[in-house]
Amino acid sequence: MERVIGIDLGTTNSCVAIVEDGVPTVIPNRGGYKTTPSMVAVTEAGKRLVGHIAKRQAITNAENTVYAAKRLIGRKWSSPQVKNAVLTASYKIIEGPHGDVRIQLRDKTYSVPEISAMVLQEMKVCAEDYLSEPVSKAVVTVPAYFNDTQRQATKDAGQIAGLDVIRIVNEPTAAALAYGFGKTMEKTIAVFDLGGGTFDISVLEIGAGGVFKVIATAGDTFLGGEDFDARIIDWLVQGFKDQHGVDLRQDRMALQRLKDAAEKAKCELSTVTETEINLPFIISSGRNEALHLQRVLTRSTLESLCEDLVERCIEICKQTLEDARLDRDEVEDVVLVGGMTRMPRVQDSVKEFFGREPSKGVHPDEVVALGAAVQGSALVDETKQMILLDVTPHALGIMTFGSNFEELIPQNTTVPTARSKIFTTSRDRQTAVKILVMQGEHQKATENELLGEFILTGLRSAPKGQVEIEVTFEINSDGIVSVSAKDLENGQQQSIQVTASSGLTKEEVGRMMEDAKEYMVERQSSDEFEGLKQEAEKLIGDIERMFPQVEQIVASSDFGRDAIGKARGIVEKARAAIVKRDSAAVKEHMESLARTHRMFKGVVSRPHG
């Protein structure tokens, strides 16, 4: 049975896990870290960097380092969230060809799924290194409150990365799977997940026999650690302006340093009550003098800066319990997920709201990936007795007369689910019907997310009302929407194409996949080169060390002198190949190097004299 990895593709950090001998395990990256920053950069030399190395060079290469791409995935260029990101991000966000979002890194533009794919690819490689076997199947998590477009785009990212994403799982649900894994219990729990970019709350029931049933879920896909950081940055920028009359926002590098410092201060304030932010030479004033930023941030200031953010989380919790028709005391355990739940103010608010101490049993950074791995193994392994019943976070409907929203599948409906509706022609000889599919909770259709529109075509030309088409709206276990139509008269399946208004086309995804594969080949060969180089350098080193001794022994013969000359030639050629990073050439010389090495060894070990 092929192994399935679970990937938590986070806004700030990503994590990969696998079920090994029945035990869910996090796979560390090459640096030994269990999580990898979701950052991607392109260096001046055009080299692609992902993860920790990308993060380390972010300050000096701010414009070409992407962070928090997840906040942009599946969003329209025209959305307020993107507008806001354009203003605050240190990298360049531009409009794509489908009204979608692209990111400019040096001379190339990338779609957001492509950026996410780079992170996914990194996680895939981590897993392959760890398992020493190729991996192609993955379960990838998304915030529960992601809509169809965002899910679709995440799936695209997986495909671009060369992964068969067998299931998209909601992050809090995955956390619950890991929490309940291997235990027998019947319990109602709440998962409170505040990460770098998004907030999710889910209420679940864990039933006997490994059934996990989500009762209600809600969240905010634009509420997370990034927003807490932004508050600190605002505070710093404003203070600096008041003091020096200089706007730090104009300088991308300064902004990146501020961002770094803000996050660091925020994390520190989870353990201490006061911290100093010290950024020397942050910018130069108009008179060419260097200015420094130095300020003390206290925990209570931070808390007051971010009070409303925490309140928003609690508001959403309240609403979710109402939707679940549960009283607070019916929730038997609260699980905290996401780095931001380390903030004491967040913990206190959760505790106060649910009236109980949150569970300490899970690791907030790893539990989501572990759950994804658990779900992956349950899906492919028939002997596993675990079933996940998740819900759709958004209502699905269509636009009707007067741009009203007609709900077809309500929020919090267990998926997979389907709903059929019969459409009929309203004019004589009408041969096409247009249907707008939307997702959201608003009465007014225009307030909701337009997933796409489709046109039923090729209808029989007949008097009005005579042609009836049954359209089935489906939400699958990934939370992804599909639509199919049947002509009721002849039972013929109508093919319809829902063109997501901001997604990538099939062709684009295909092309991006090819690009990504090329990169893999490139990357693999460079890995290979590094290996060859090491091996060759070791041989060269040994050979050079033996030269004086060998020379002494064989210098007397012509043959010996000739051999020494040849050996020098081989070493030089190999050196040149290494300098040129030409792995094929290095490989070519490897054999002669090894031969020379053997020969030299033989000479020096022979008794002489």
Ligand X SMILES: Nc1ncnc2c1ncn2[C@@H]1O[C@H](COP(=O)(O)OP(=O)(O)OP(=O)(O)O)[C@@H](O)[C@H]1O
Active-site residues, by number, are 8, 70, 171, 193
Given another protein, Mg ion, ligand X, none, residue 464, with its beta carbon under 5 to 8 Å by kind, binds another protein
Query: Side chain identity at 132, as an amino acid letter?
Result: S
Binding mask 296-335 for another protein (x = CB under 8 A): -----------------------------x----------
Reference 203, options 332, 300, 81; nearest CA is: 332
**The one among 25, 417, 431, 592 contacting another protein by CB under 8 A:** 417
DSSP tag of 330: G
User: Contacting ligand X (CB under 6 A), which of 6, 13, 233, 445?
Assistant: 13
Q: Which of 4, 6, 12, 379 binds ligand X (CB under 6 A)?
A: 12
Q: If contact means CB under 5 to 8 A according to the sort of partner, which of Mg ion, ligand X, another protein, none does residue 342 touch?
A: ligand X
Helices (H), 132-164: 148-160
**CB count in 10 Å sphere of residue 310:** 20
- 245 binds, options ligand X, another protein, Mg ion, none, Cβ within 5 to 8 A by partner type: none
Q: Does 465 bind another protein (CB under 8 A)?
A: yes
In this complex, which beta carbon is closest to ligand X, that of residue 267 or of residue 553?
267
Binding mask 329-368 for ligand X (x = CB under 6 A): ---------xxx-xx---------------------x---
Confirm or reject binding of residue 172 to ligand X (CB under 6 A): no
Q: What backbone phi and psi angles, to 5 degrees, belong to 104? A: -95, 120
Q: Which two tokens stand for residue 568?
A: 């020098």
Query: CA 174, CA 192: separation in Å to the nearest integer?
Result: 12
Which of helix, strand or coil describes residue 183?
coil
Q: Smaller CB distance to another protein: residue 418 or 513?
A: 418
Contact between 463 and another protein by CB under 8 A: the answer reads yes
Q: Which of 505-521 are b and which e, b meaning 16 or more Cβ less than 10 Å from the residue's Cβ?
A: eeebbeebbeebeeeee
DSSP class of 391: B
- By the rule CB under 8 A, 427 interacts with another protein: yes
Question: For residue 506, which amino acid is it?
Answer: K
- DSSP letter at 32 equals S
CA dist 291 and 262 (Å) reads: 18
Q: How far apart are CA 268 and CA 253, in angstroms?
A: 23
Q: Which does 465 bind (CB under 5 to 8 A by kind): ligand X, Mg ion, another protein, none?
A: another protein
- Cβ burial of 432 (10 Å; 0-12, 13-18, 19+) is exposed
Task: Enumerate residues 6+ apart whose C-beta is below 8 A from 507.
Answer: none
Question: 158 contacts which partner out of Mg ion, ligand X, another protein, none, CB within 5 to 8 A by kind?
Answer: none
Strands 23-26 and 13-20: antiparallel
Angle of CA points 579, 580, 586, to nearest 5°:
85
Binding mask 238-277 for ligand X (x = CB under 6 A): -------------------------x--xx--x-------
Residue type, 430: Q
Which residues between 66 and 95 bind ligand X (CB under 6 A)? 70
The answer to whether 388 contacts another protein (rule: CB under 8 A) is: yes
Span interacting with another protein, options 67-75, 200-208, 278-286, 544-552, rule CB under 8 A: 200-208
- The CA-based angle 594-598-602, given to 5 degrees, is 170
d(CA 94, CA 103): 6
Report the residue closest to ligand X, judged by CB. Answer: 225
To another protein, the closest distance from the beta carbon of 393 in angstroms equals 17
Rounded least distance, CB 8 to Mg ion, Å: 6
Tokens read off for 515: 């690009």
Instruction: Provide the angle, in degrees to the nearest 10, between the axes of the packed helices 558-579 and 506-554.
Output: 160
Q: How many residues bind ligand X (CB under 6 A)?
A: 22
Query: Applying CB under 5 A, which residues contact Mg ion?
Result: 10, 195
CA 142, CA 195: separation in Å to the nearest integer? 12
Q: Which two tokens stand for residue 522?
A: 């490139």
Told to check if 211 binds another protein by CB under 8 A, we report yes
416 makes contact with another protein (CB under 8 A): yes
CB of 373 to ligand X, least distance (A): 16
Closer residue to another protein (CB): 86 or 211:
211
Contacting positions for another protein (CB under 8 A): 166, 186, 205, 207-211, 213, 325, 378-380, 385, 387-389, 401-402, 414, 416-418, 422, 426-430, 463-465, 468, 477
Contacting positions for ligand X (CB under 6 A): 10-13, 70, 171, 195-198, 224-225, 263, 266-267, 270, 338-340, 342-343, 365
